[in-house]
A and B are shown apart, each in its own frame.
Chain A
Amino acid sequence: MNTTTTEEKSLFFAGNTKSSDLKGRLIVGSTLAAVILIIAVLFLIIGIIVYNGWDMFSWEFISSFPTDGMTKGGILPAIIGTFILVIVMSLAAVPFGTITALYLTEYAAENSKFAAAVRFSVRTLAVVPSIIFGLFGLGFFIQFIGTGIDKTFNAGQLHWGQPNILWASLTMALLTLPVIIVSVEEALKTVPRELREASLALGATKWQTIRKVVLPESVAGIMTGTILAVSRGAGEVAPILFTGAAYYLATLPKSVSDQFMNLGYHIYIMSTQSSDVEKTMPIQFATTLVLLMLTISLNIVAVIIRSRIRRKKVS
């Protein structure tokens, strides 16, 4: 990098943009305008949601049940439901994603067709619309597995063959799998080759090396992946529309075979299907505020951890 002093001085215009060149200024200006517009809209959304939701937002709001037909009260069950959802989801997705990432970085041969197919599948999984996961959850987990369990073990009595937390979480786990795989893979790649070689040279086997050297070194990456996945899973609504989310529950779920309330679903229901949208407006904004704060703060944490990993790689 041969940076000149002028480049370092100006924050927004690096390089030798000639001020007399009108066309150039127009073009550079338009690209800068695009950046500013996007960032402005981003902060505008945050600002408006904070402004409208702040009055309602309180400890009481997040720690109490909805009352009076959901026109008053808090969102505790929705928060708990979201919490359970992401925990069960992580329990399924994190080991699965980590192992797949391990295969891709540690075991797959360079020109392996199989590894290429796995990579392609993971990327495809990342672009499949979230509503398709919902359909899959309904068709596979509920209709196929759930009903199958009921037929063989419960003598046809309906227990697992209906929407519940478990099926919703597993559906969400599939959706967030690519997020985890990509993050863990990136972290595994930053583990220095020398560490692996040293371990192997000391007589450790490949699996021992992975378990004792590679995995401990990439814990931060696995954490980043998990946090990003949790952030994604907490915000998605489409996959749980028909796999377990409930409109209103008077009690908290007791087992994974119960239905649950969910923050995102709560926002959707309250803003489109409530009998009195106007009246519950503050609740809606405050719920949105809670969800947005949750996902954004999780993402910021992930970004910070990730930039630390990258810095470690450089140094």
Chain B
Amino acid sequence: MSSQNPTTFSFTKESLKKQFRWSEFLAEKIISGVAFLSIAIIFLIFIFVFKESLPLFSSSKTVEKTEIQVTSTTQPETYGAPTEDLEPETYGTPTEDLTAIDVVETNELEPETYGEAVEELTVGTEEETPKITETNKEGKNNTWSTFLSCEWFPVSENPRFGLIALLIGTLKVTIIAMLFAGPLGVLAALYTSTFASKRAKEIIKPVIELLAAFPSVVIGFFALMIMATFFQNLFGYETRLNAFVGGVAMALAAIPIIYTISEDALSAVPKTYTEASLALGASKWQTAFFVTLPAAIPGIFAAILLGIGRVFGETMIVLMATGNAALNSANPFESVRTFAATIGSEMAETVFGETHYSVLFFIGSLLFVFSFGLNALAEFYVKGKLIKKIQGK
């Protein structure tokens, strides 16, 4: 390749070609290979979360097989669960009636919440048991039929996995959180990008973004200890931990996301737009509201979508602040149980391979698909819209 004679040097096609070096070649391949891993991770996450829920889709025979395999390898029943005896029976698990009531007695801080939840749920179990036994005889795959019911009793004798009940809870909390976080985040972003002076902007932006540094467990703790009591005294409702408290706490987690992305979108609106508007005699606020804001709508839309994604999948805050009882009511001041919180609180108690375990993983894949979809929508919608806007079509 590089057999050029120095004395008769001339630029030929050969001499201008890049010299082949193994180190260069390897470096490039390894680096692209590592980059490829991030794509692979996305697929792996989906495959492995979905894989664990597969027993739900197969026939009853294979389900039994996997269970036998598991017992022979002596899998421990606890995942991430402490090995010490100190482990309490985890509150709010509706089905283990006796232990749940035990917890209520010892737990002096929030007796109302857990007590109420347990009462409601036990009543439900007694009433519904006969009906469900009939359907259970039809075969193992009836887990599917219970998905659309409104009852979430995963560990009872006739387990029912009513995803609707969890969906109601998740939606309730998400809506409440977005009602607070959406307007607040966007308005704050509008102020920062259009009205604030440069100096004020330099202070406000990092301070609000500091909120993103708050671990969700800290926000959850604050909601559990301070906000719950505060709101109960303010509104005088019965259940101390409820959807409203959880929603407001989650708004705190969603605000930095909505704020940052909206602020970026608002700042990216071309200067010519605002200058043209101001030159036509519009005042500053008119420009901000009728020119800048509409121009940044795609970005703000993306911000809201990503905010919803954050709230939808948030675990620790709901786990700590919403009371965790799957009730079917539209009342924002009652306890709720969301998809993510269900996974978080019940996974440690399930046995590898059983239906409950698979259902939790199935919920996980639903959550994953949902957040993936939201992100894709935010990304492609925004890109499409922005290109159209810039080209003036």
Task: Report A's interface with B, CB cutoff 8 A.
Answer: 7-8, 10-18, 21, 23-24, 27-28, 30-35, 37-39, 41-42, 45, 48-49, 69-70, 96, 99-100, 102-104, 106-108, 114-115, 117-118, 120-125, 127-136, 138-140, 142-144, 147, 156, 158, 161-163, 174, 177, 181, 205-207, 210, 231, 234-238, 240-249, 259, 264-265, 267-268, 271-278, 281, 284-285, 288, 291-292, 295-296, 298-300, 303
Contacts and interface: CB of A to CB of B under 8 A. Distances in A.
A163 B188 contact: no
Contacts of B37: 96, 100
Contacts of B222: 45, 48-49, 288
Nearest to A128: B371
B328 interface: no
Nearest to A70: B86
A117 B207 CA distance: 33
10 contacts: A24-B285, A45-B222, A48-B226, A100-B35, A100-B38, A107-B32, A127-B374, A139-B51, A139-B52, A244-B80
B90 A273 contact: yes
Interface stretch (B130-138, B143-151, B157-165, B304-312): B304-312
Contacts of A288: 218, 221-222
B216 A139 contact: no
Interface in B211-262: 211, 213-222, 224-226, 252, 255, 259
B138 to A, nearest CB: 29
B87 interface: yes
B372 A128 contact: yes
A237 B312 CA distance: 16
Given A15-B195, A35-B204, 6 more contacts: A28-B195, A129-B315, A131-B340, A138-B80, A158-B74, A299-B210
Contacts of A127: 306, 309-310, 371, 374-375
Given A138-B79, A238-B315, A31 B88 contact: no
B280 interface: no
Contacts of A8: 197
Contacts, number: 343
Contacts of B344: 131, 134, 238, 241
Nearest to B342: A131
Interface stretch (B40-48, B171-179, B384-392): B40-48
A276 B88 CA distance: 11
B255 A38 contact: yes
A247 B84 contact: yes
Interface SS majority for chain A:
helix
Contacts of A18: 283
Interface in B280-300: 283-286, 288-289
A65 B39 CA distance: 42
B191 to A, nearest CB: 4
Contact of B86 (A13, A205, A248, A284): A248
A135 B364 contact: yes
B167 interface: no
Nearest to B82: A247
A28 B197 contact: no
Contacts of A37: 184
Contact of B45 (A16, A128, A277): A128
A17 B285 contact: yes
